[in-house]
Structure 1
Amino acid sequence: MGLSGQAKRYYFSYSLSCNWDSVLFSHEFLIVPESPSPLLGRDILSKVHASVFMNMEPSLSLPLVEQNVNPRVWADGKSVGRAQNAIPVVVKLKDPHVFPHKKQYPLKPEVKEGLKPIIENLKEQGLLIPCNSPCNTPILGIKKSNGKWRLVQDLRIINEAVVPLHPVVPNPYTLLSEIPERAKYFSVIDLKDAFYSVPLAEESQFLFAFEDPTQPASQLTWTVLPQGFRDSPHLLGQSLSRDLQNFNSSEAVVLQYVDDILLCAETEEACSRASEDFLNFLAGCGYKASREKAQLCQQSVRYLGLIISEGTRAIGPERIKPILNQPLPMTLRQLRGFLGITGYCRIWIPGYGELARPLYKLIAETQQAQTDKLVWSPETQKAFKVLQTALLQAPALSLPTGSEFNLFVTERKGVALGVLTQPRGPHQQPIAYLSRELDVVACGWPHCLRVIGAAALLAPEALKIINGRNLTVLTSHDVSGILNSKVNIWMTDSRLLKYQSLLLEGPVTKLKVCGNLNPATFLPEKENETPDHDCSQFLTLNYAAREDLKDTPLDNPDMEIFTDGSSFVQDGKRKAGYAVVTAEQVLEAKSLPQETSAQLAELVALTRALELSKGQRVNIYTDSKYAYLTLHAHAAIWKERHFKTATGEPIKHFREIERLLTAIYCPKEVAVMHCKGHSRDGSKIAEGNHLADCQARKAALYETPSLQTPLIWTGPVEQERPQYTEEELERYEKRGAKITDKGWLQSEDGRLIIPENAQWKILKGLHQSFHLGAESTYQMVSRLFEGKNVMKTLKNIIKRCEICQKNNPKTEKLAKSGLQRSGKYPGEDWEIDFTHMPKANGYSCLQVWVDTFTGWIEAFPCRSEQAKEVIKILIHEIIPRFGLPRSLQSDNGSAFKAAVTQGVSKALGIEYHLHCSWRPQSSGKVEKANDIIKRHLRKLTQETQDKWIKVLPIALMRARTTPKKEGLSPFECIYGRPFLRTDIVIDPEALELTNYVTQLSAFQQTLTELREKTPDPASESSRPLFEPGTEVLIKTVGSGGPSLEPLWEGPYQVILSSPTAVKVPGIDSWVHHTRVKRWHPDQN
């Protein structure tokens, strides 16, 4: 009801953090647009402890509660406190025989004058005493904004030399959870020069000596804990904590963080009495507090950079302001500092881990480039700005004052996201926004399982904040159901046990399913919403090899099969075999080649079981976790990746796995179960598995058929009888062939005749014994055998032999090589390379630049092959002397591929072209320049007996004045005149400067036209080498030493192809056609 007498509706604002002089508080303002000026109500006046005086000039006063307080507790700036009960601190060296010392930095006279009164005051109080010490550390003088000076001692070498103590300092977030729920009034007391209140043991004082700037050739040392010593904070905290144990107050709770103390009380009177008692207690213990920083009996106070009020905490303006004013960091140290400041405030920023991820990635890329300078991309700049603005929108979080808490969890892009809340009526009050990045293993899981990993990551963080009280974890996924079912498919037993102990049996009291979470608040969008999918069904349908594949037995199956594979060493030889059995009979048991592993044998056994149960309803039991997981978990991922690893290489046993995933569709219905191996509990499953195991071991002892992988060929006569067609029998009998006792046709000259249906099997066995070429193998075969199209079959076998393909040289016709990229005017395009040199004056390599238009060579000695060296030469040498290049070329060296090199080039608008890896000819011009420079340097160093670095300019002069194929030297192409003076040369004074430049440009244009007329062989056919999807082998890169590894690796699938190179997964750069050949898969 207003002055008009009519009722009107107005609204309150959100709770805002306010600062009135030195008083901090939160307030909800009534918004009345018609009010001519802001009005101070009784509620806000009481919060700031205002006194209203009725006079012509009203003023506001904030009385300080200091009644009955011992005045000795307040620091006067002249004396420091001395803790009466503190135990002298003993500091021990790691090596008692090594005394750290560092020379004093030179100090300016004004610094010495500024430090003199400080040191004199400390000496008068006995904090500094004269000494003669083997240790010494430098001191600095820092000028404050008020014109006074601060004494700073550089104790880094002492911190490294002494035995470190484990820091016992409370977590700020955990500490604030101890604030009572009903606390409304607070006092903050900051101890003044608190480190000086703890004495240093006499035997440890010599460690902290420094040169006295007021008296030459003398030293001073501390008798108390010095500032800058690593262990000073927690040593002080422990000493003060022991004293505070003797302070008892029934009206207030005391919280301590090092030397910052917070008192919490329910009423103003109780807070006042407790503050007076506590200050008197501090005075009795010998401590001194800062009067300027004290905040007594207030409803809102600053503590640890936060604004604490009844039930809430918010970020203080002193923390937000430096973050908002932070310019874009240019070095690693600056960026780490920014992330450190924002990281302290991360619980106020929803999804902090996701927002900051590009910046952490930038740090990793910069470290990999071995530089300190940052190269910002639009994505990282956006992340920096988003983090800055996120703090402006940071809400005031609730203090954890209840007994029941909720943690809402989700996952996005590999980052665990959540919000910790406490219920307040029908609403949830946020306490902290949590975020952490999932580990590499968890990032590869399906989304349902990643949410479980997120819950397991964030729950311990939440429990720290709420100090172990009751916690309920809510997600939009059935966490409990998954953990109790088939999650062991994806997780190791140790990880599963960890998750179950934390989420099902540990401190987390409840797991609940809620609706989908709002991506901005991480709270449910609707109350009591049911999940939109069944997690178990989702995992089964999307990640199993077959949609209806089950991991529980079928009812009334047609068959129950047990499989096992075996691989072991006997008498120095590996034996391998597999078996497929039922409870009553052995369906199949065979030996496998000697190199077969146990995993491969299990895969073969399971594959044969599926193929033997075609059209049946079957239950299959295997004790192989590898084969079981292949069907139930990994199949979909491997199919999607085309059976390639993350590096682009084929997965192990990929052909056998491909056959297994095809065989899974043979049965009408199928359930594949994992059973415990070598169990003899008498159950039907255990007995069936034992039978399969025995039969597999028996089969492994059989001789492996020699035709599969023989090392010495024994011939086909001992194998099964050949099967000839009627046409073959008729044809060869007409030519006088006879049938032997073993069923073979034998010609008149004694050679066996191979039927066409057995040619591949027999000739492949012969080839695998020797791995010879087609002609040599044919000559060997023609002496023993006869048959139709034998030579054609042999060529096909050798063409598809995996061993030969990976070890024989490339026989395919080479594609035509293209012309190298070249500039159209001087300085437009450069080729760059590093070449190693003998170490001289600290330089161990040359950075060589070649102008591709003129052939002009520049070479710069370098101490290392790092990206910063490339950028320094580009910025300080090439651009000032030759202008901004249009493009640069280099090989795939780490200095050239580095993000900082690529980033600087992009920022300057320079196109950067990386050549094919392991193809020096692609960088032919700069490689030739390397050889020319080294040849001249060898001659010059032998002539002059000087180091190469001194004669380098003469070597460059010789290289620049050597004529090229056009009959012109690089010097002439640049300057338009010969290097040597001669009378034939026209006197430059006879020509005007304008005409001289015009003629030089015309000459360079003619040179460009001449080079453009040279045909490019590769451009004659724009057809790519291979179609995308073609499988190829890539020539391996030798280690430089003797090796018997395959010469070719793969196969790889071609992603992109040009007339001269291909791009394959797992290899970053393009691969030149000379290192690529087509892969021909084997066929049975």
Structure 2
Amino acid sequence: MTKYQAMMCENPRVHLDLIATLNPATLLPDCEEDPDHECLQVMEEVFSSRPDLKDVPLDKYDLQLFTDGSSYMDDGKKVSGYAVVSTEEVIEAKPLPGHTSAQLAEITALTRALEISEGKRVNIYTDSKYAFMTVHAHGALYKERGLLTSSGQQIKYAAEIAALLEAVWKPSAVSIMHCRGHQKGHDEIPKGNRRADQAAKAAAKPPPPTEDQAKVLICKQEPQPSMPNYEFYMNLRKFEPHGEFIEIILHKWQDDYELLELNHDYIQWLFPTRTKGRNFYSTPLNPQETRLMVNTSEVQQRLRRAYKMMLKFFGVKIVGEEEDKETTEVERAENFASRFENLTTNPHNNLRITRILHSLGELGAEEYQVPLVRFFLKEILIKNRLLRMKKSAMNFFIPAVRDSQDRQDLLFFAWRYYLPKEEFIWGNHGELARYKPKPVVAALLPAPLSEWTPVYSEKEKKWLTEEPGGYGEDGWFQMENGRIVLPATLAPEIVRALHASTHGGREMMEQQLEPHFYVPGLSAICKATAQQCVTCAKKNNPRTGPSQPPGKQPIGLSPMASLQIDFTVLPPCKGYKYLLVMVCTLTGWVEAFPTRTEKTTEVVKSLMKE
């Protein structure tokens, strides 16, 4: 210490002088003096809209009120309202204009509660943070700026907020408190808040018109077209004459083939079209009725049930119906022999099939048209069954299909198998010979299809001999609709190749492959391919299957098949901060790896490399 003292004091270049600079410490207030002001009091006076406004309940009060505002959509129309209630009754609940927002409704409710409490001591509860902050924090700021924002523009709801800040002075003493909305429980505050919420919602919804008002509205309305077909499908009326409700038909007539054959009145009601049927009491579809039936799920469900009932009557069924994996494709049912004989004996069923096809197209179920027409063409032209249906299929079934491309494909299919060819009069033979139905998109796969050699099993070859189509020069079997049949042994490999180029999910791969390839079990193959992809597992990290109950850890069936993984924090060393620990749930074997982060990429890297 003496050394440093000598260096400073005995150094001829150092001089010690007194200076006149003021010490800032002398400006500090004397701690013994009283404070100039009370900070909390100043904040309440400056920022609150009223100096004595409280946010805790008053001990002595005349009223305790709850307010709420509501704004929601009712039957496609926006409605708004507000309510002021006490613990015992609804004091005021009124609707507001439809364009009123929920915030404005809350401001209006709080303003009315303050006006109702004029000259009284009141506790007011609101679940609106916006209204609460307006009176407690933002009100004075709005007044100081003249109801303008920091950018100089007028604040939202300026007139209503000004009315609120004026109304806050009307009670003799007031406390405005915020409570959480939609609370459960039987305490006073949750019950009061729920009562205000219910009253505001009820006030927002306009009351039903009185009897006199209803009469005026009815007189002003334009006459609406009758909708008997819609009413029948909604199970509101029976078909005429002397008919039944549609649910009775779909339940009790299901297997009564004699009744379905001999009754000729139900079919015009079960499958309505825009043309008048033979039943005098049936009504053609009108545009409003058609739109309503297409957009009503209950109607669409019953339409498909009716379609399946009639298919069974014809000896046909939906593919996959028994396994709950329904498609639009159809095939022979178990009772096809007897039902085909009935179709041959009673050709009036051809008219029923034509009506069904037209009705499916008009009522939004046109995806069922092509499979049914192709099925009958295959039975007639390839399997030589139902020969009396041949002209009906060509003259009526094919034209009933709505999509022009699908109609042309069906016409090409019929021309291809029609014998004798010279009697085919439904299209130009030269144009049909040059027609190519829905060609396969070669660019779909990352590699040309020629990279694979098709090897069909004996079972597949036997099935393909009965399927219309033919083998190409490259050995692939192409169906009559242009789809290529993939052998079961090659299908997973080709699906994996497609997935590797796009990394699409199961649905995406199905949508890409199904229009161009026929793959048995395509959905299962796509699902397995997506689940086994390492890249997709890194990106998506899917959680499959139900979660285990707390406290239970699944045990693997083989060593390292099931791992319990977690990160633990370690002191940093050479850039490593964490330790990844893996424990085999079967053997208890432990593996640990130092990592720089605790991300999933570290887990994947350790699993793949270590």
TM-score between the two structures when normalised by the length of structure 2: 0.31
Instruction: Flag the structure with higher helix content.
Output: 2
The structure carrying a bigger strand percent of its residues is 1
TM-score normalised to structure 1 length: 0.18
